[in-house]
Amino acid sequence: MPKPVVISEAELDHRHGTFARLASGGRYGCACAVYDGDVTIEGDAWLSDEHWSQLQLAAAPDDIGTIVVTGSLTVRGDLCVSDRLMCAVVLGDLVARELAIFETEFYVGGDLRVDRLRDRDEYLTVAGARRVAEPDVDPDDED
């Protein structure tokens, strides 16, 4: 797995204009783990609880609240985002088999291409096109 650079929210905003891009304003009072350029991941571990915990240990004494990929993110597997994470930002395209978000703000600056999307809280913002092969259906909405 690639290694991130840890920076402040203010520095992240200075470099990438995140305060204006994020619906929340991007001010969580935590540090940011930044992966420069395009990132390709094999498997289902990216942004999981374990991935977040590893980042916490590496960034100590800072707490990681936001994870950023400055390019495109390709996950050859499922992307199930830890609810311990406050925010995830992909400035390019995001491609994955599944994207599952719960209680985490997620911003995609390019296109989103996934087979399945689970975002019951509607914290996902996509600046480009959304291509979802199998739209999520909430069982509570079915009659």
Write a three-state SS string for 14-43.
HHHCHHHHCCCCCCCCCEEEEECCCEEEEC
Return the amino acid letter for 83: D
Is-contact 46 75, C-beta < 8 A?
A: yes
Provide the domain limits for residue 35: 5-125
Reading the block at residue 53, the tokens are 């915990």
The more confident residue out of 60 and 138 is: 60
In a domain, 29, yes or no: yes
In a domain, 135, yes or no: no
Taking the whole predicted model, whether its pTM rises above 0.85 is answered as yes
Q: Find the mean pLDDT for residues 17-26.
A: 96
Question: What sign results for the dihedral spanned by CA atoms 88, 93, 99, 101?
Answer: positive
In a domain, 93, yes or no: yes
Q: How far apart are CA 90 and CA 105, in angstroms?
A: 11
**Distance of CA 34 to CAs 55, 85, 97, 118, Å?**
11, 14, 23, 24
In a domain, 137, yes or no: no
Q: Which of 2-6, 9-13, 66-70, 139-143 has the lowest mean pLDDT?
A: 139-143
Reading the block at residue 121, the tokens are 């809280």
In a domain, 69, yes or no: yes
Reading the block at residue 81, the tokens are 């985002």
Binned at pLDDT 50, 70 and 90, residue 3 comes out as: confident
Give the whole-number percent of the chain exceeding pLDDT 70. Answer: 94
In a domain, 72, yes or no: yes
Is-contact 71 39, C-beta < 8 A?
A: yes
Mean pLDDT of the residues in the chain: 92
In a domain, 42, yes or no: yes
Over residues 60-107, the pLDDT tens digits come to 888 999 999 999 999 999 999 999 899 999 999 999 999 999 999 999
Task: Provide the number of structural domains found in the chain.
Answer: 1
C-alpha 56: how far from chain center? 16
In a domain, 143, yes or no: no
